[in-house]
Amino acid sequence: MPQVPIIMPQLGESIAEATIVDIKVKPGDEVVDDQEIIDVETNKAVMGVTTPCKGKIDKISVQLKETYPVGAVLGYIEASEADAARFTKQAPPPPQGEVAEEIPVRADQEVAPAREKKIPTRGRDGEGSRDGGLPVPAITKGATFMSPRVRARMAELQLTTADLAGIMGTGAGNRVTIKDLENFLHKIENQTAHEAS
């Protein structure tokens, strides 16, 4: 039987990833169209991932407590030929005839050279040049954007934003993800253990 992938859906406009919190099916289970099979947690809420069609679960390729990006394949469903045909992407047909190597230019058309743009250089005081606008601040470090999930974990551990000033976020818009926080805590734990020995 053909396989149809179970894809991590776009869960919101600004959400780029989600963490698997519950897997409700196992390989061999029969599922119906639009059945909720996996619960995922974003930085805003817990949501369900549903099946794209009916069939039998062939494989679940994700692990609990792991984070996956939008568009990742979470598993596969053995589906009917008709359902599988709905989900296979057809490549566009190749162009007919010859394709020009270069774009032709009309004889009366003049091609203007590209304008050079002056790039501001960084000054001694950590700010960019004031040529043409506001000063550009030096590169900032630290946890500035944190998800509600990260803030909840910080509250559990009685940490403040200042405690996490050394973390550079790897999420969308440099947002500090739960994985960033856990890696940071693991690094501190290893440092403390190493210093104690």
Q: Does residue 12 form part of some domain? A: yes
Per-residue pLDDT of the chain (197 residues; tens, 9 = 90+): 789 999 998 888 888 889 999 999 999 999 999 999 999 998 888 899 999 999 999 999 999 999 999 889 999 999 988 888 887 654 455 556 665 566 666 666 665 665 655 555 555 444 444 444 444 444 445 556 677 777 778 888 887 777 777 777 777 777 778 888 888 888 878 877 776 66
Is 139 part of a structural domain of the chain? no
Cβ contacts of 60 within 8 Å, gap of 6 or more: 23, 25, 26, 27, 38, 74, 75
Last residue of some domain: 40, 72, 87? Answer: 87
CA–CA distance, 58 with 63 (Å, rounded to integer): 15
In a domain, 44, yes or no: yes
Element (H, E) at 185: helix 178-196
The CATH number for 63's domain is 2.40.50.100
In this structure, is residue 98 part of a structural domain? no
Burial of 75 (0-12, 13-18, 19+ CB in 10 A): buried
- Quote the number of domains for the chain: 2
pLDDT of residue 115: 60
Q: What is the pLDDT of residue 159?
A: 79
Task: Quick: pLDDT tens for 67-119.
Answer: 999 889 999 999 988 888 887 654 455 556 665 566 666 666 665 665 655 55
Range of the domain at 35: 3-87
Is 61 part of any domain? yes
Point out the domain boundary residue: 87, 104, 127.
87
What is residue 77's predicted lDDT score, i.e. its pLDDT? Answer: 94
Residue 39 lies in a domain: yes
pLDDT of residue 93: 58
Say if 101 falls within a structural domain.
Answer: no
Q: What is the pLDDT of residue 156?
A: 83
For residue 17, the number of C-alpha atoms closer than 13 Å in the C-beta half-sphere is: 16
Task: Give domain status of residue 127, yes or no.
Answer: no
